[in-house]
């Protein structure tokens, strides 16, 4: 740990990694809470994996993969949202299809791109140590957008998540807010890809909020706790992986996952002895 | 002359070409307490959703306080079916009730909104529970929260879809008394499976089974109904000749 702290003061890339992890935790905790209480993890997973398609296409045409990811994430969110709202299609089938097709498109384009594709693993599993200053600005901008919109429409989002039918009777534009919520989830996915990669995104998005929701019973409180937990996991993951030179993203997820299991056990035990 | 709270005129509705309601006429006066009974799939919930503006009729017109349901949504209090509800959603009683004030464009609660929510909480006797998460509540308490949320909007027409399914008898009588009291100042329409519930303060019963037949609660010998329902009843008048 002291080794990590010494290295942190010395290396700019570690400072950027730390800042990136902490910044990403903000949007992650807020949007992860919506994903958990609305039970749309599968949906968020579909968006996350479809993102590879956009990254691959952008990569092939020589653009920044992250820009492709942003476009693909928003498009996937809108398609999935539209299917869910308007078509009586089997939602899980559509999500699974978008999930796989997005990845297939991504792999096809990435493998067709000339040169050595060292970045592919980075997209899939993240490379927080490679976060650049430009990435930090992007994550900060996405945070700002998420906080602004959630702050502005907190009640509408709450009403839509809690009881969409009632919200509709009250004249709330349920479909519009639902799609906006999905787009914000998509933006969060993109910013977390830098940290843990698109395969691990869903765990980092949902586990902090899921842990918090075991102990707290207001949406806002869960959001705050999820942000703090996310920051804790990314920071601790960074510190623990640095010394033994482990892959940071997976270590972050293992920390979050084991904490989740631990709290599940504690709650289960507490419930049994409480009777 | 008073404006009826709800008027349905020759309303028909079908789900995927499967007719659910056919040529339904119904007028509900402003302080009426109307019970909707009928078999499963007979169209009770559909009728409530048409009145709430959640569904649009294929033909015919729906008028709430003289306007279309979407124009009159501030007058509508809607209490959805209990069963389709997430019990573990992280929200307190007071927060859930406040959502009943939500309108189209507003972003912040005003003083008026908070006062209306407080009145609704008081009226449904939820004050001691108002900071509790809804996951802590019993079925009857949660049902009162849903009613309070609808009342927070200060409706003139209260629509309830099976407010007493899943409740024990005491909780059920509680809700019934509350609705009877509310019908002194607004129209109340409730869907119920439970014929015993209809026995309470309901002034009129409508039997919905694709078509609709209304029955006044006066002018019927109670004996037959009592035998049928096993309950003390002072209502229901079967006049099926209304719709030839």
Q: How much is the pLDDT for A116? A: 64
Position with higher pLDDT, A274 vs A14:
A14
Contact A169 B96 (CB under 8 A): no
Contact B99 A163 (CB under 8 A): yes
Q: How much is the pLDDT for A123? A: 81
Position with higher pLDDT, B131 vs B240:
B131
Is pLDDT of A141 > 60?
yes
Distance from CA of B225 to the nearest CA of A (A): 35
Percent over 70 (pLDDT), chain B: 80
Q: What is the mean pLDDT of residues A19-32?
A: 94
Is pLDDT of A270 > 80?
no
Mutation test of the interface with chain A: which of B77, B90, B120, B147, choosing the one with the most A Cβ atoms within 10 A?
Answer: B90
Q: How much is the pLDDT for B242? A: 39
Domains by residue range for chain A, with CATH: 2-266 (1.10.3470.10)
Position with higher pLDDT, B154 vs B167:
B154
User: What CATH architecture does domain B6-86+156-242 belong to?
Assistant: 3-Layer(aba) Sandwich (3.40)
- Mean pLDDT, chain B, rounded, equals 81
Where does the pLDDT of residue B189 fall: very low under 50, low under 70, confident under 90, or very high at 90 and above? Answer: very high
Distance from CA of B90 to the nearest CA of A (A): 4
Question: Domain residues of chain B, as ranges?
Answer: 6-86+156-242
Contact B90 A170 (CB under 8 A): no
Is pLDDT of B239 > 60?
no
Where does the pLDDT of residue A101 fall: very low under 50, low under 70, confident under 90, or very high at 90 and above? Answer: very high
Q: What is the mean pLDDT of residues B187-206?
A: 72
Q: How much is the pLDDT for B91? A: 93
Whether A172 and chain B come into contact, CB under 8 Å, resolves to yes
Among the ranges given (A35-39, A123-127, A250-254), the one the predictor scored with the smallest mean pLDDT: A123-127
Q: H/E element holding A132?
A: none
Q: H/E element holding B180?
A: helix B169-182
Q: How much is the pLDDT for B106? A: 63
Q: How much is the pLDDT for B124? A: 93
Q: How much is the pLDDT for A57? A: 92
Q: What is the mean pLDDT of residues A17-22?
A: 93
Q: Which residues contact A93 (CB under 8 A, 6 or more apart)?
A: none
What is the biggest distance separating any 2 CA atoms in chain B, rounded to whole angstroms? 55
DSSP code, position B4: P
Q: What is the mean pLDDT of residues B162-190?
A: 87
Position with higher pLDDT, B165 vs A48:
A48
Is pLDDT of A209 > 60?
yes
Contact A170 B102 (CB under 8 A): yes
- Mean pLDDT, chain A, rounded, equals 89
Residues B85-100 as b/e (b if ≥16 CB within 10 A, e otherwise) read eeeebbbbbbbbbbbb
Whether A173 and chain B come into contact, CB under 8 Å, resolves to yes
Where does the pLDDT of residue B126 fall: very low under 50, low under 70, confident under 90, or very high at 90 and above? Answer: very high
Q: For chain A, how far is it from start to end, CA to CA, in angstroms? A: 42
A68-93 pLDDT tens trace: 999 999 999 999 898 888 876 677 88
Instruction: Identify whether the C-beta of residue A128 lies closer than 8 Å to the C-beta of residue A195.
Output: yes
B69-98 pLDDT tens trace: 999 988 999 998 865 667 889 999 999 999
Q: What is the mean pLDDT of residues B141-164?
A: 92
Where does the pLDDT of residue B194 fall: very low under 50, low under 70, confident under 90, or very high at 90 and above? Answer: low
Residues from chain B that touch A221, judged by Cβ atoms under 8 A, are 90
Is pLDDT of A268 > 80?
no
Choose among A152, A159, A213: nearest Cβ to B102.
A159
Contact A222 B90 (CB under 8 A): yes
Give ipTM to 2 decimals.
0.84
Residues from chain A that touch B85, judged by Cβ atoms under 8 A, are 163
Residues from chain B that touch A168, judged by Cβ atoms under 8 A, are 54
Where does the pLDDT of residue B232 fall: very low under 50, low under 70, confident under 90, or very high at 90 and above? Answer: very low
């Amino acid at each position: 740990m002291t080794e990590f702290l010494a290295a942190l003061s010395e290396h700019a890339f570690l400072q950027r990694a730390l800042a990136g992890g902490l910044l990403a935790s903000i949007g992650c905790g807020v949007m992860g809470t919506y994903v958990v209480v609305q039970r749309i993890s599968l949906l968020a997973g579909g968006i996350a994996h479809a993102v590879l398609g956009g990254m691959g296409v952008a990569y092939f045409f020589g653009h920044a993969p992250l820009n492709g990811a942003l476009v693909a994430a928003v498009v996937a969110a809108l398609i999935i949202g539209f299917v869910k709202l308007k078509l009586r299609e089997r939602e899980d089938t559509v999500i699974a299809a978008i999930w796989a097709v997005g990845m297939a498109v991504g792999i096809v384009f990435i493998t067709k791109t000339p040169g050595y594709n060292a970045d592919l693993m980075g997209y899939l599993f993240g490379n927080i140590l490679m976060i650049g200053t430009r990435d930090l600005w992007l994550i900060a901008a996405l945070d700002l957008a998420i906080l602004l919109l959630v702050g502005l429409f907190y009640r509408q989002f709450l009403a839509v998540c809690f009881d969409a039918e009632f919200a509709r009777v009250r004249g709330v534009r349920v479909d519009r807010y639902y799609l906006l919520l999905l787009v914000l989830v998509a933006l969060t996915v993109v910013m977390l890809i830098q940290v843990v990669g698109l395969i691990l995104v869903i765990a980092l998005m949902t586990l902090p909020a899921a842990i918090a929701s075991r102990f707290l019973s207001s949406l806002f409180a869960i959001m705050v706790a999820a942000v703090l937990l996310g920051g804790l996991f990314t920071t601790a993951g960074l510190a623990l992986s640095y010394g033994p030179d482990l892959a940071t993203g997976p270590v972050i997820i293992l920390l979050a996952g084991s904490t989740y299991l631990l709290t599940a056990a504690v709650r289960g035990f507490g419930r049994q002895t409480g009777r | 002359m008073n404006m009826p709270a709800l008027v349905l005129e020759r309303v028909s509705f079908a789900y995927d070409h499967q007719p659910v309601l056919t040529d339904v006429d119904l007028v509900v006066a402003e302080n009426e307490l109307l019970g909707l009974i009928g078999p499963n799939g007979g169209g009770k919930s559909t009728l409530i959703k048409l009145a709430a503006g959640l569904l649009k009729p294929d033909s015919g017109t729906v008028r709430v306080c003289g306007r279309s349901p979407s124009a009159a949504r501030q007058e509508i209090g809607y209490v959805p079916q209990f069963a389709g509800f997430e019990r573990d959603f992280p929200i307190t009683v007071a927060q859930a009730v406040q959502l009943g004030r939500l309108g189209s464009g507003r972003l912040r609660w005003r003083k008026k909104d908070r006062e209306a929510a407080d009145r609704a909480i008081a009226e449904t006797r939820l004050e001691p529970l108002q900071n509790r998460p809804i996951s802590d509540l019993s079925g009857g308490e949660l049902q009162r929260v849903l009613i309070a949320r609808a009342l927070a909007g200060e409706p003139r027409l209260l629509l309830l879809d099976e407010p007493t399914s899943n409740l024990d008898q005491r909780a059920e009588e509680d809700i019934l008394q509350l609705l009877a009291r509310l019908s002194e100042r607004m129209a109340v329409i409730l869907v119920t499976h439970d014929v015993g519930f209809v026995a309470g303060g309901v002034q009129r019963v409508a039997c919905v089974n694709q078509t609709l037949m209304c029955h006044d609660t006066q002018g019927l010998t109670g004996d037959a109904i009592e035998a049928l329902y096993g309950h003390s009843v002072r209502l229901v008048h079967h006049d099926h000749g209304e719709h030839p």
